[in-house]
Chains A and B, each alone.
Chain A
């Protein structure tokens, strides 16, 4: 089953009245359960593509199918898609609200969805990513980078996504912490029915993690690679 299908997708950034197309005619499919890698130097359009998949940039053309639903260009995500697609951002220092304790930041989406057993879910999440449960009443600045990235992963996973988008999830982290996070992602992928799309500029990380990867160059797909 294909979780993502892109046909002739071009993506632009809109600044004022100017339209700057940075990704051109991309065709690709991502199968369910796959770890899919997007590699390339900075500025090649890999993050731009990921932002469209996350519903954060509606300025695209072509056709996109995600989780068996066609997307409409120019429209934000609606309904179930919002929950089923979650993202982990590059910089764990910038992606958690600095003035909210973790409990508040993490329970916000759960409250919105009307869950009753929020505390249980949070402590279960902390256990899954290997963090001590008593950290839940801390502020983000009281955590290390690796711990923060784990919290960002909990946040994404709490909503039981089908598709997890990872934008350079380890490039802000230490090499030893990177190993821990990559192991964690592999474990989670094995345990849950999870598809991952991972952006990275480190070819070693993609070689290690992914089942299928494309290399991008100047907004186009340059090479496609399948790992057995």
Chain B
């Protein structure tokens, strides 16, 4: 377990605005080389938490924590230069929408090679070889040709695979995927999640998968953290989800529509009940 919880260790993480409004209200969690889903609605603070792990929060937000360790290092006081050493090398991130996250003016080969240029000194030929190998590993055919293409020539699923290639090319220890499939078509979502999950397992990395669709990510993770309005309100093993006890987790688990629910109204959140529960927990 000591090895297992060594990648990230966070105690009492608070992220707040200048005026004192707290957006993340003191959360604790730790994780190792495992696949963990961080689930919650928009505005629950899940993306802020993930961004704080990459040192990517804007200056207008204040981060405080009793303990904030990444790979055993206390990273909270890091400056940008120190973060740059870490980002893309030890910790990597995949964002939501490849249409916005990839640079439209650079070809794919150059963008996938960028982490190599920044963190390793390799000859151009070795770099090209590595890039092509990586593109192949994320399931893109014909990498030699693809290297010369631009983001607008790719479909959403291909773009997301390219982003994954950029994230994984330096063999990071830890990958954060922030809603990697929300911008994709229904049919492609499972393929991309499957790919992320299998690559992470192959490379023995840690994965923090952020999503609002609990049912979908449950199959690809071992553990689930549930956030609601800046608090971590539930933690459980993915296999336990169908008999979750927290009402919020229960609703998230069952609110997905399907043909069997026709004519019945879908379960929705009883926000008052949850608010009273979370207040009780905070006291």
Q: A residues bordering B, Cβ < 8 Å? A: 41-42, 144-145, 174-180, 182-183, 186, 201-205, 207-209, 227
**Further pairs besides A42-B156, A207-B262: 11, Cβ < 8 Å:** A174-B41, A175-B213, A175-B215, A175-B256, A176-B41, A176-B269, A180-B269, A183-B266, A207-B257, A208-B259, A209-B257
The interface on chain B, measured as residues whose beta carbon lies within 8 A of the other chain's beta carbons, has a size of 25
Nearest CB of A to B251, in Å: 6
Residue on B nearest A187 in the bound complex, by CB: B265
- The interface residues of chain A lying within 8 Å CB-to-CB of B212 are 174-176
- A112–B215 Cα distance when bound, in Å, is 46
A204:B185 contact, CB within 8 angstroms:
no
- Chain B positions 238-283 with a Cβ under 8 Å from a chain A Cβ: 251-252, 255-259, 261-262, 265-269
Kindly identify which residue among B43, B186, B187, B255 contacts A179, using a CB–CB cutoff of 8 Å. Answer: B255
Min CB–CB distance A201 → chain B (angstroms)? 5
Question: Out of A42, A175, A179, A227, which one reaches B262, CB within 8 Å?
Answer: A227
For B198, what are the chain A residues with a Cβ–Cβ distance below 8 Å?
Answer: none
Contact residues of B between 6 and 46, Cβ < 8 Å to A: 41-43
Q: Total number of A-B contacts with CB less than 8 angstroms?
A: 64
B257 adjacent to A204 (CB under 8 Å): yes
Q: List B residues at the A interface (Cβ < 8 Å).
A: 41-43, 156, 185-187, 212-215, 251-252, 255-259, 261-262, 265-269
Q: In the complex, what residues of A have CB within 8 A of residue B268's CB?
A: 176, 179-180, 183
Question: How far is A203 from B190 in the complex, measured between Cα atoms in Å?
Answer: 14
Q: Could you write out 29 A-B pairs with CB less than 8 Å apart?
A: A41-B185, A42-B156, A42-B185, A175-B212, A175-B214, A175-B215, A175-B252, A176-B41, A176-B255, A176-B268, A177-B42, A178-B257, A179-B255, A179-B256, A179-B257, A179-B268, A180-B269, A183-B265, A183-B266, A186-B265, A201-B185, A201-B186, A202-B186, A204-B258, A207-B257, A207-B259, A207-B262, A208-B258, A208-B266
CB distance B266 to A41 under 8 Å? no
B24 to chain A, nearest CB (A): 17
> Sorted from nearest, which 8 A-B pairs have the closest CB atoms?
A208-B257, A207-B259, A179-B255, A179-B266, A174-B212, A174-B41, A175-B213, A183-B265
**In contact, B258 and A207 (Cβ under 8 angstroms):** yes
Chain B residue at smallest Cβ distance from A172: B182
Known contacts A175-B256, A176-B251, A227-B262; A203 and B186 CB within 8 A of each other: yes
CA distance A175 to B215 in the complex (A): 10
